[in-house]
Structure 1
Amino acid sequence: MSEAGKTAFRIEKDALGEMEIPAESYYGIHTRRAMLNFPLSDSRIHDRFIRSFGQVKEACAAVNMKLGFLDDRIGRAVITACRDVSSGKLNSSIVVDPYQGGAGTSTNMNFNEVIANRAAEILGGELGDYGLVHPVDHVNMHQSTNDVYPTALKVAVLALLVDLEKEVSKLQGTLQHKEAEFSQVVKVGRTQLMDAVPMTLGMTFGVFADAVARDRWRIFKCRERIKKVNLGGTAIGTGLGAPRDYILQVAGELKNICGLPVSRSENLIDTTQNCDSFVEVSGMLKSYATNLMKIANDLRLLSSGPSTGLGEIKLPARQCGSSIMAGKVNPVIPESVAQVALQVMGNDQTITLAASMAQLELNQFMPLLAHNILNSLSLLQNVTVSFTRNCVHGITADTDRCREHMESSYALATVLVPVLGYSSVEKLIDSCRESGRSLRDEIVFQGLAGADEVDELLSPQRLCKQGFTSDEVKWGKKK
């Protein structure tokens, strides 16, 4: 530190000239130029992406050292520095904006410089002493941004898919628990927001659970689409500049380090230039977002009011809902779920467009694609945890309200059509409107059935049956 309040700098050089770099910074001149060129957002490189990048760099260094291309002393220091990156210790030194030109070169160089400077420090050197450990010659040996960046992204996506699947499984289980809990609660089913036919509240949550179960399966299967990596392919997938033994071994080394089922692509050129596997994964995430949106909006409707809406279920009260309307409680968790779903749908469109705009041997919009797919994965995982814990787990049924709606509607009428015929049921409904009696009471009043028979017709067991049988003559009873 030269004077009080001033920062000490070191001078670094590259092909474009010299720059001052904060003396204590692990990053170097390439990173600093990127910081000046791309001050585009307040976003940062995703933490899981940072971890994956460290793991990829470690795999490359380990194979280069084993094959004798990297001096053991330097190699061990580089590997230790890579592990410091993977552990999160150096997250604050990964400073480039996720939005950047160059297909990710700025990000790769940020890692190269941080790892090189940390390795030099481990060896007793000074930050910026690239004669000891060089960002390109040592840390980036036999690599290109074009194989390292997408490989690190796939490792990050794989890891986040595993985490997401666990949370989706918990949501599925919670919905299934509610299905059983509400199996005896009879309610009105609705189509186009109008009364339709009777059902149980358990059926409603069973449908939610089945939709989420499909999403869980999709998320599990789409991991297969993302595990092939182009590490070793260097610039365009031909492996130019890298030794054959390194190309054959480095993906296997990465698999051992990250503990995920990554493997070398059979066609490194294809995997370098085409990003359709990311589009496929994003599509699966969009499907999950679509189901989350449907479920969240249904819960908002079913809990609406509560006095003047449907009010058939009660959501956990999470916070006061208004700064002026005392006592108001809003469905804030389903609202947050819906907003995340919308963001994921928007991200999917961006990912699709970014993947489609690749040209010839490389996708220059990989950073945009990476930022959006990692954002979708994190948002979905976080909102699934919140949805399960803060909303679905604590939902209760207002059985009285469900019964009141059931008895005051004509939803029962459809059940009578196979017995009385459509026209007769229409006349029965007209009689209800004229008399003001409920359909249940009108049936009893006209002597069409007794109260017990109507109750049996509306029993959860009868409603859960798949259709009626030919030996049933009336009100769901057999001869």
Structure 2
Amino acid sequence: MVKTREEKDLLGTKQIPADMLWGIHTARAVENFPISNQKINHELIKAYGEVKLACAQTNSQLAYWKDPEKTSAIGQACSELAQGLLKEYIVVDALQGGAGTSTNMNVNEVIANRALQILGEEPGNYDLISPLDDINLHQSTNDTYPTAFKVAAIRLLRELEQQVLALQEAFQQKEKEFAHIVKIGRTQLQDAVLTTLGREMSAYAEAFNRDRWRIYKCEERLRVVNLGGTAIGTGLGAPKKFIFQVVDKLRENTNIGLARSENLIDNTQNADVFVEVSGILKACATNLLKISNDLRFMSSGPDAGLGEISLPEMQAGSSIMPGKVNPVIPEAVAQAAIKVMANDQAIAQACSAGNLELNQFMPLIADSLLESLTLLSNASKIFSEKCVSGLIANEEICKQQVENSTASITALIPKIGYKKASEVAALSKSKKITIRESVLLLKIMTASEFEELITPEQVCRLGN
């Protein structure tokens, strides 16, 4: 028989494993919400610990607790949660009713019971340290949950920015390596005009440069918090000194430029800022999807496709086709990008579906946005390290395609005109010879003159 303790709430009593750090509110939430089978994002758990620590420190400074040992134990328990040491006890489902109340109560109970352990007491002795009267003192789910969410999001944004920067730099390195390689540029998947492989890489680098800057600016959108606003932003149940001091303490602890909202009611009920940030993440996902697909297309073959580049070989590609190697990294990156786009739609719907003074769908918003940040960060990392950094250009294939494609004719027009260029194209097609061979056969220009018109410098020159 498992030893238990009895806990009570307004609905009745419940038996809880005696040494468990969570309590009756968590137990009911676990029973009520077997929905996603996904745990709460670990960054949100750690950020919640930081929020609770700032609240505890502020309450201590305002002398709401007289016992220094109790105060110290609560602070230590909050710190342990912030360090991720207690995350195994945060067991409620990521998706839950109540705007995050189950998460807040799970956190409150774990901190209270851990503090009791630190004092040498048994879990459940809430007369000494209460999840509600002590750990939740001067707080509400409705201000602690979104504040912890924003802290977690900012931390993940900073990580994402660094990964996107690394991806940008990887493409910039390839821009330098491939600057001399002339190749076919394509529009509508058809041969168009000449370009260089380096210029293609530079365009990818520039796209991620924009993403990096947009991601950096997102922190400004998230740093305004409603901590101290309690239930609906009026600060009900919290003293004015607490309201004015608690965000300062959280800013000091986290080293994040957090600021208390000038309109706590607005910041409590309206979630449009998360839609804005998610839109920026969707833009990054768009670039990841487009560029990962470009690399797959350019590396297609290797014998019967474009074959302009070779991607690093990461694993065997088939259980039935010997020798086949698939572009698994770009494929994985593409799937992460698609999931981020799907999350963006969920975030937009959830943010718009809030009612009156509160958005009840905050758990879905938080889970989706934090997942998107994690997906983009991880996808950017593997894309950079396992794909882009190891790209190899197949120079000979690019050269053959330039000589064989009618795309190279466009480069000749400034010297020979459109009419003669058309004659070159017709001869090449009828005799099944290269453009270079056609030019020489028609004696329109010499071999050296032809080569001069398709050099990297000539191809990349802005204008004629």
Unaligned runs of 5+ in 1: 1-5, 469-479
Are positions 1:120 and 2:81 aligned together? no
Residue 246 of structure 1 and its aligned partner are, at CA, apart by: 0.7
Q: In 2, distance between residues paired with 1:261 and 1:79? A: 22
On the 8 A contact 1:125/1:132 being kept in 2, the answer is no
Give the corresponding residue for 1:475.
none
Are positions 1:248 and 2:244 aligned together? yes
The superposition leaves residues 150-185 of structure 1 with CA deviations (integer Å, 9 ceiling, x where unpaired) of 000000000000011011111111100000000001
The superposition leaves residues 289-331 of structure 1 with CA deviations (integer Å, 9 ceiling, x where unpaired) of 0000011000000000100000010000000000111110000
Give the corresponding residue for 1:26.
21
Give the corresponding residue for 1:40.
35
Give the corresponding residue for 1:49.
44
Give the corresponding residue for 2:450.
454
The superposition leaves residues 27-47 of structure 1 with CA deviations (integer Å, 9 ceiling, x where unpaired) of 000000000000112200111
Equivalent AA in structure 1 for residue 220 of structure 2: E
Q: In 2, distance between residues paired with 1:82 and 1:66? A: 16
Q: In 1, distance between residues paired with 2:454 and 2:270? A: 56
Residue 67 of structure 1 and its aligned partner are, at CA, apart by: 0.8
Give the corresponding residue for 1:477.
none
Are positions 1:271 and 2:264 aligned together? no
| Structure 1 range deviating more: 95-104 or 439-448 | 439-448
The superposition leaves residues 427-450 of structure 1 with CA deviations (integer Å, 9 ceiling, x where unpaired) of 321121122221111112211111
From 3, 6, 10, give the equivalent of 1:11: 6
From 320, 332, 353, give the equivalent of 2:349: 353
Give the corresponding residue for 1:336.
332
Q: In 2, distance between residues paired with 1:446 and 1:426? A: 12
Give the corresponding residue for 1:237.
233
Residue 259 of structure 1 and its aligned partner are, at CA, apart by: 1.4
On the 8 A contact 2:51/2:250 being kept in 1, the answer is yes
Equivalent residues, number: 463
**How does the TM-score come out when normalised to structure 2?**
0.98
Q: In 2, distance between residues paired with 1:103 and 1:62? A: 25
Give the corresponding residue for 2:255.
259
Give the corresponding residue for 1:79.
75
On the 8 A contact 1:61/1:70 being kept in 2, the answer is no
Q: In 2, distance between residues paired with 1:421 and 1:449? A: 12
Give the corresponding residue for 1:432.
428
Give the corresponding residue for 1:61.
56
CA RMSD of aligned residues (A): 0.9
Q: In 2, distance between residues paired with 1:186 and 1:63? A: 64
Equivalent AA in structure 2 for residue 199 of structure 1: T
Alignment of 1:110-259 (within 5 A): 110-259=106-255
Residue 98 of structure 2 aligns to a residue whose secondary structure is coil
Alignment of 1:358-437 (within 5 A): 358-437=354-433
On the 8 A contact 1:169/1:213 being kept in 2, the answer is yes
Aligned-pair identity in percent equals: 52
Q: In 1, distance between residues paired with 2:2 and 2:83? A: 28
Unaligned runs of 5+ in 2: none
Residue 419 of structure 1 and its aligned partner are, at CA, apart by: 3.7
Residue 372 of structure 2 aligns to a residue whose secondary structure is helix
The superposition leaves residues 246-293 of structure 1 with CA deviations (integer Å, 9 ceiling, x where unpaired) of 101101100111111111111111100111111111111000000000
Give the corresponding residue for 1:472.
none
Q: In 1, distance between residues paired with 2:432 and 2:315? A: 41
Q: In 2, distance between residues paired with 1:277 and 1:420? A: 57
Equivalent AA in structure 2 for residue 57 of structure 1: K
Q: In 2, distance between residues paired with 1:273 and 1:74? A: 34
On the 8 A contact 2:5/2:18 being kept in 1, the answer is yes
Give the corresponding residue for 1:471.
none
On the 8 A contact 2:19/2:122 being kept in 1, the answer is no
